[in-house]
Amino acid sequence: MGMTNQQKLQTLRNLTGPELFSVIVKELGSGPVYIPPDGDGAIREPRNLKIQVDFLSPEFEGEPLGKVYQVLAKRYNLSTRQIKRILKQHTSGSR
């Protein structure tokens, strides 16, 4: 059988320490928080969609692709290679 909510809270407190645990509780309030098995993936997908939206925005209209990749890489703290890979996955690569 899985851990009870109380056990999960105690584990979280043990991992974070009492001060950070208090901040987490205050920020997230009461109610359930679902943590998917691939927590990083759950964070990456919305970020990748934001990158796609930025790429297609009028901000970059007429700009060379190399410059656009550099700006997005700096904006999202990624490499230009990562930006290209993300855009290839989400778009046809054209604006």
Residue 51 CB neighbour total at 10 angstroms? 21
Q: Give residue 36's pLDDT.
A: 75
**Global confidence as pTM:** 0.58
> What digits encode the pLDDT tens for the residues 24-81?
889 888 888 777 777 777 778 889 999 999 999 999 999 999 999 999 999 999 999 9
CA–CA gap between residue 24 and residue 20 (Å, rounded)? 6
d(CA 43, CA 11): 22
Phi, psi of 53 (to 5 degrees): -60, -45
pLDDT on residue 93: 45
